[in-house]
A and B are shown apart, each in its own frame.
Chain A
Amino acid sequence: MTFDLILRITTKLLMPFMLVFALYVHFHGDYGPGGGFQAGVIAAGMVILYAIVFGKRTALRAVPTGVANAMVPLGVFIYLVAGLPGLFGGRGFLDYSVYHENHAKAQEWGIIAIEIGVLVSVAGTMISMFYAFIARGR
C-alpha cells in the first residue's frame, strides 16, 4: 500500500473541500441548484471515497456502521419534527410560517430545516448501503 501515495494525498486534500461543497450545496439550495438530496449524496461520496482509498477499517473508525444506520431513520424523524411547529402553531403540518415573523425568512428556515432531514437520511442510506456491500466482501 505504498504505491498509491498520490491517491492518498489527493484524497486527504479533497475531503474537506467535498464536505464544504456538500454544505454549500445544502445551505445555498434556495439560491442555486441543489438541496439536501444532492448534499447528502456528496457527503456520502466523501465517506465512500475515504473507505475506498484508506480501507474498510479506517473508514469504519471515522464513521461506524451504527452511526450510518442510525442516520437513515433519523433523517425522516428530523423532517417530521421540522413539520410539527406549524401543526402545533395552528397552521398545519409542514407550514413554515411559525418559524419567523418575516414570511420569506420563515420559508427559508423551514426549507433548510426539512432539507437537513433529507441530507441526513440520504447520506445515511448511501453510506449504509456501501457498508452493507463491503461487509459481505471476501
Chain B
Amino acid sequence: MIALITMTLLTLLAAITVAIIVQRSMFGVVILAGVYSFLMATVMLLLDAPDVAMTEASVGAGVSTVLLLSALHLCKPREMAPVGSVAIPLMVSLIIGAALIYGTPGLSKFGAENAAIHQHVAPYYLENSLRDMGVKNVVTTVLASYRAFDTLGEVTVVFAAGIGVMMLLRGAPRDPTPREDETDSDGGSGDETDADLAEREDDAAAGTTATTAAADTSTSSTGTTPPQSSGSP
C-alpha cells in the first residue's frame, strides 16, 4: 500500500516537472511549483520526516508561492522566447541529466534504513538524545541543542537573506517619473495641507484674498519645492 502511494506520488512529481517545463504562462508555473511542493511534503511524510514535511508545506507551498506571485506582479506574466541559440543550454542539460541518471542506480533504496546518511552520526543521536537532553523529539534536540551553533548560523543566513531581498527591492531608487505619479494619485491630503498652510500665511500677510489668487501665490512662492502641481487642483 505504502509502495503504491509512493509510486503514485513520484509519478505525479515527474508529471508536474514536465508540465512546468512545457508551461509558458508564469502564473501556471508558480501554481504548479506550489503543487510540487505539497507533493514533496507528502513524500517527506512517507519518509517519516514530519518536520521536513511541515517546513516544505509551509515554506515551499505557502510562502514561496505567495512571494513568487508577488514577484510575478512586478514583471511580465509570460515567459520570454529564448534570446540566443539553445544549443549550449541543451547540451549542458543533457550532460547533467545523463550524469544524474547514471548516478541514480548507485543510490540506496527509497527510505532504506541502511543508507549512507544514516550510518554516520545519526545512530549516536538516536540512541543518546533522550538520555542526554531529556527531550523527546530528536530533530529538535539535534537542531537546537547538539547543533545550536549551526542553527545560530542558519538564523543569521535567514537574516542576511531577508536584508538582501529588502535592499534589492526597496534600497535602489526607482526612476523618478512613476514615483511622482504615485504621490499624486494617493497623496491628495498632503498636498491640501500644504496649500492650506500657504493660504494661511498669505492671509496673515495680506489680509483676505480670493482663493484662486492664494493658490496662485502658493504655487509661485513654493516654486522651489518639487511638486509643481500641488497648488492647482
Contacts and interface: CB of A to CB of B under 8 A. Distances in A.
6 contacts: A96-B145, A103-B134, A110-B145, A111-B141, A130-B66, A136-B170
Contacts, number: 141
A111 B135 contact: yes
A30 B137 contact: yes
B117 interface: no
Interface residues of B, number: 43
A118 B161 CA distance: 14
A25 B55 CA distance: 11
A121 B155 contact: yes
Given A35-B143, A104-B133, A121 B158 contact: yes
B169 interface: yes
Given A30-B137, A132-B170, A111 B144 contact: yes
Contacts of A45: 58, 62-63
A23 interface: no
A25 B137 CA distance: 12
Q: Sort A-B residue pairs by CB-CB distance and give the 4 closest, nearest first.
A: A104-B134, A125-B162, A133-B70, A33-B50
Contact of A30 (B74, B140, B149, B162): B140
B139 to A, nearest CB: 7
Given A35-B140, A42-B58, A118 B151 contact: yes
